[in-house]
Structure 1
Amino acid sequence: MESHDHLFKVLIIGDTRVGKTSLVHRYVHEKFFKCYKNTVGVDFALKALTWSDTETVRLQLWDIAGQERFTSMTRIYYKGASGCVLMFDVTSTSSFHSCQKWKEDLDSKVLQVDGNRVPCILLANKCDLSPWQVSKEDVETFSKTSGFIAWMETSVKDNRNIAESMRILAENMMANQSAFGTPENQGTSFKLSSPVTAKVANGDPCCSTMRNLVE
């Protein structure tokens, strides 16, 4: 049977120290570290998912720096994105309030081929910590009014809802690809009901700092 690859660029955005880099390492390498250096510009990693017997979904994860001095570069970083993860820290009110700015910036700079916004999922990270400084009701309201496909409580430390949230995003991107047509270098069919088997591409870590790799 002919095999098909589907490649999607996925942005990971949000304020600094909300857990973006930890999310990427947990999801791609199945590892968690307590300490990370702040991302400079953008880092990237590749996650390969076995979508069906004949299809592989490859997620190119772009970990965007959360520091204010890098936000002027987001138009370049966002180019060609198919989906997005927006994260905040449930113990930080300011990181939640900043999500409005991040979402508006995303929606103003990248659109799908039909002119609609790219699918974006909102992650309330560090849900293992207490007390929350943000109410779930406020998160629910913000998610609905801002056009997110969903929001989920996550804990990168405890590996809670990481694969599940990425699965939801991947399903939305696959559905959009089917609806809008498929580029020649990607597959032409998909099955949303197929189980996902997660694998690290080539079995090797693939995160590296990007400075000159953006077009």
Structure 2
Amino acid sequence: MNHEGKRDWTITNGNGTTREMLFKFLVIGDYGVGKTAIVRRYTEGKFSSNYKITIGADFAIKSLQWDGNTKINLQLWDIAGHERFGYMTRVYYKYAVAAAIVFDVSRLATFQSIPKWLNDLREKVTLHDGCPIPIVLLANKCDIHGTSVPHDLITKFCKENGIAAWFLTSAKENVNIEDSMTYLVQKVVNLKAQEAHNDSIILRDSGRHGNTLSKEKSSCCG
């Protein structure tokens, strides 16, 4: 098993078979929007206002008992928001299956940078079948009064750019951090289930007709 989340696997215990899955999630956005704080809040349950600048990328791990038969290990990759690290994103994005794009809801300029991050992401990473990876938008620092980005503008952007959901978040006050990540995990689990279903259809058809049919792309590609 490599460390970048390329596969999932099953293990058998005395009570039956348990599926253990490894997902790589990206957390991207401009410098200072709270990416590291979000990752640490979600994985460690802690908040600090004194995180050091991320150099290149860092990651943290969160283990979830998703259901009685499924354990999910999440790698959350915190990608540096400073412009000088941008050329490395293709390396850091490799094998990712979902992403959270973060902006500071009190700073309009960080919202205006989202198209750059979104385009970079969609140019450099897709699912194995060529479909876009699931994305959520996190309007972070909602604990700060006098936010400058209107909610209807965020909703409009998501609708126009095929982003399924956005969340007001606060790493400081622990607002919607777990809910937003759970939403992403559910999206990926659903895609994995669809993938397994498609594979089983191919195997059945192959056995029936003596050849392998080409796999159709899932509905995520439209």
Q: Which of 1 and 2 has greater Rg?
A: 2
Does residue 1:41 correspond to 2:50, yes or no? no
Deviations 1:117-175 (A, max 9, x none): 10010000001112111110110011111111200100110001010000000000111
Does residue 1:125 correspond to 2:170, yes or no? no
**Higher RCO structure (Cα 8 Å, ≥6 apart):** 1
Deviations 1:91-111 (A, max 9, x none): 111100001100010001111
Distance 2:50 2:90 in 1: 29
Secondary structure at the aligned position of 1:181 is classed as helix
> What do you get for the CA RMSD once the two structures are aligned?
1.0
Structure with the larger helix share: 2
Distance 2:182 2:58 in 1: 21
Question: TM-score scaled to structure 2, two decimals?
Answer: 0.80
- What corresponds to 1:153 in structure 2? 168
- What corresponds to 2:37 in structure 1? 22
Question: TM-score scaled to structure 1, two decimals?
Answer: 0.83
Aligned-residue sequence identity (percent) comes to 44
Secondary structure at the aligned position of 1:163 is classed as helix
Secondary structure at the aligned position of 1:3 is classed as strand
Aligned residues: 182
Distance 1:177 1:71 in 2: 30
Deviations 1:151-202 (A, max 9, x none): 01001100010100000000001111122239xxxxxxxxxxxxxxxxxxxx
Q: Structure 2: which 5+ residue stretches go unaligned?
A: 1-15, 198-222
AA aligned to 2:175 is R
Does residue 1:58 correspond to 2:73, yes or no? yes
177, 182, 187: which one pairs with 1:172?
Answer: 187
Does residue 1:181 correspond to 2:196, yes or no? yes
AA aligned to 2:94 is K
Does residue 1:73 correspond to 2:73, yes or no? no
78, 82, 91: which one pairs with 2:106?
Answer: 91
TM-superposed CA distance for 1:113, in Å, is 2.2
Deviations 1:42-89 (A, max 9, x none): 000110011111211111110000000001000111011000010000
Distance 1:55 1:179 in 2: 16
AA aligned to 1:117 is P
